[in-house]
Structure 1
Amino acid sequence: MQNFTRRLFLAATMGLAVAVGAGSAMAAERTLAAIKADGVIKIGVEGVFAPFSYRENGVIVGYDVDLAEMMFKDLGVKPEFVDTQWSGIVPALLSSKFDIIMSSLSYTKERMQKVNFSIPYADSSLAMLVRAADESTIKSFDDMSGKPIAIKAGTPEEASMPKFNEQVEKAKGNGFGEVKVFDSEPMSILALNQGTVDGVISNMTNLGLVIKNAPGKYALVQNVAGSSLAGIGIRKEDEELRKYIDEQLLAATKSGKLMELQTKWFGVAFDMPTTVPVME
């Protein structure tokens, strides 16, 4: 959760970093033929962002690794992961340190001015964890009217709670029964287990891991406050590579293999669009 929160704050300043790292001229296209000739596709990741990409016994593993190996198998190249500081990952892409960015790069207007994105491959939207016994009765924020809800202190979600409460009040006549703020996510989940709250708000990937680690105990209410999707970042000149990645993601979605990987790493399959979102 700390990594995710930090990324939200970094996204606000990423436009400045990109402007510094990018030149005004567009570089030559990195074609599929050139990548195939090299036998390697270099992928920028943040190697401390589980379960997307993180080190296990010194080796980078995770959802990004499995997905990259799947996507580039048909091209006959080996993914090579370049562990990169998150604050400089977009400038590093633009200066050709690697070919693409993974590690849950969220769509922002500032990033999309400099970088092309694939269609979504992950969902970091806010979700709500509930007890499995309440899955049939709590399906949205509105169903939390009059019920206590938990949030972690110091997160963007905490700052948004008044807005969420107003939304519930408008829909149901009463807002949340109580908003309980905890110092950590495990404390919030303990409160859910003890019955002192009926829902825990966090991002989808964090809560998916909770479900994965305790099968049958919890249920997840997805996209309770709009979507926050992530794609694969590609240089604007590398249009052939972008099209290839989109084709691979669409094929993996159609076959169900993408959802299998999501369930493996996050404990839940994401319900995502198959087009790049428009950022106003």
Structure 2
Amino acid sequence: MSVRRRTALATPFLLAAGAAAAQSGPLTLEQIRRNGKLRIGCEATYPPFTYRDAGVITGYDVELATTMCRSLGVEAEFIDTQWSGVIPALYAGRFDIIMSSMSYTRARMERVAFTIPYAEAGQALLIRGRDEGRIRTLADMGGRSLGVKLGSPGETLHPRLAERMRADGGQPFSGVRTYDEHPAAYLALMQGTVDGVLNTLPTLAFVVRSQPGRFSIVRGIGADNWAGIALRREDPEVLAWLNERLMAMRADGSLKALQMKWFGLEFNLPDAIPTPAA
């Protein structure tokens, strides 16, 4: 997941291999119908994808999965899971699929199957609402201060952004401040300590939606990336059904409606799984 420094590959490979034996044979749609539910692994600390509201897991993913499951006549059951072990837990049979905006990486794609994208996961820039007309591109951040979270993709990305700004004949950032958490960086942005904060587009869209007029977003800052639904490679029938549902919801506008509800913007989604850079 791009927005957090999380890696589902932290658990040793041998653990994953041993867990795989716990789930033998392909999962079928008929089995899901008999179970009466589709079990979904998530990290319920990631608004607005999956998070707890009054103790109940809610969010964009929950509404999306609930809508998709209606075609099978089953419920969507979300299972809160430690993200570092989410892939081994999938192969251990604790749940059937993984959501929570899992972004595409080469390492993950070697271990799980992915659907087509259902969310963007690339980096964007949060700015003050009053600066919307002055900061429209990365170049406009030349000579301005940037905020990043310690250990985040933004911290890794900002040196490359500065190099790009120099290569284009512009100024780099005047300085980069690092914060322990993104909310502290957002506060610094409001107070004028920094002029922009890097984070993933969906997360920043949620921030903007939650505080109307205070912030704005500059898109297209980092390399494009997206998130898909992950599942075992042994479950092609489930994969085909998930892809069919996502395409149907794109076609009838219901996926866009959910994006507007939870993020206040529409995602730019390719029709095929992208080739990740890393």
Same fold, TM exceeding 0.5? yes
Does structure 2 conserve the Cα–Cα contact (< 8 Å) formed by 1:138 and 1:144?
Answer: yes
TM-superposed deviation, 1:166: 0.9
Moved more, 267-276 or 190-199: 190-199
**Is 1:22 equivalent to 2:20 in the alignment?**
yes
- 2:125 matched to which residue of 1? 128
Amino acid at match of 1:190: L
TM-superposed deviation, 1:228: 2.9
- 1:5 matched to which residue of 2? 4
Does structure 1 conserve the Cα–Cα contact (< 8 Å) formed by 2:185 and 2:197?
Answer: yes
Amino acid at match of 1:131: R
Does structure 1 conserve the Cα–Cα contact (< 8 Å) formed by 2:50 and 2:57?
Answer: yes
Distance 1:195 1:83, change over 3 A: closer
Output one character per residue of 1:59-83: Cα deviation in whole Å (capped at 9) or x when no partner: 2211111010111111211112222
Q: Select the residue among 161, 167, 171 that pairs with 1:170.
A: 167
Distance 1:171 1:90, change over 3 A: same
Amino acid at match of 1:5: R
**Is 1:226 equivalent to 2:223 in the alignment?**
yes
Structure-to-structure mapping, 1:74-85, within 5 angstroms: 74-85=71-82
Structure-to-structure mapping, 1:112-151, within 5 angstroms: 112-151=109-148
- 1:34 matched to which residue of 2? 31
* Residues matched between the structures, number: 276
Distance 1:77 1:258, change over 3 A: same
Q: Select the residue among 60, 64, 70 that pairs with 1:63.
A: 60
Distance in 2, Cα, partners of 1:135 & 1:96: 48
Distance in 1, Cα, partners of 2:249 & 2:12: 32
Moved more, 116-125 or 138-147: 138-147
SS at 1:72 equivalent: helix
Distance 1:48 1:148, change over 3 A: closer
Moved more, 180-189 or 165-174: 180-189
Does structure 1 conserve the Cα–Cα contact (< 8 Å) formed by 2:135 and 2:141?
Answer: yes
Distance in 1, Cα, partners of 2:78 & 2:163: 44
Structure-to-structure mapping, 1:96-111, within 5 angstroms: 96-111=93-108
Does structure 1 conserve the Cα–Cα contact (< 8 Å) formed by 2:8 and 2:86?
Answer: no
Distance 1:15 1:271, change over 3 A: farther
**TM-score, normalised relative to structure 1:** 0.87
TM-superposed deviation, 1:4: 4.1
Output one character per residue of 1:161-202: Cα deviation in whole Å (capped at 9) or x when no partner: 222111111113321233233444334333433444332212
Distance 1:19 1:169, change over 3 A: farther
Distance in 2, Cα, partners of 1:204 & 1:225: 10
TM-superposed deviation, 1:216: 2.8
Distance in 2, Cα, partners of 1:44 & 1:264: 23
Name stretches of at least 5 consecutive residues in structure 2 with no aligned partner: none
Amino acid at match of 1:176: F
Distance in 2, Cα, partners of 1:37 & 1:83: 23
Distance 1:12 1:93, change over 3 A: closer
Does structure 2 conserve the Cα–Cα contact (< 8 Å) formed by 1:15 and 1:110?
Answer: no
Moved more, 25-34 or 227-236: 25-34
Output one character per residue of 1:61-113: Cα deviation in whole Å (capped at 9) or x when no partner: 11111010111111211112222221221112122222111111221212211
TM-superposed deviation, 1:277: 1.4
Distance in 1, Cα, partners of 2:183 & 2:84: 27
SS at 1:6 equivalent: coil
Structure-to-structure mapping, 1:252-263, within 5 angstroms: 252-263=249-260
TM-superposed deviation, 1:19: 4.3
Q: Percent identity?
A: 42
**TM-score, normalised relative to structure 2:** 0.87
**Is 1:212 equivalent to 2:209 in the alignment?**
yes
**Is 1:52 equivalent to 2:49 in the alignment?**
yes
Name stretches of at least 5 consecutive residues in structure 1 with no aligned partner: none
Amino acid at match of 1:230: A
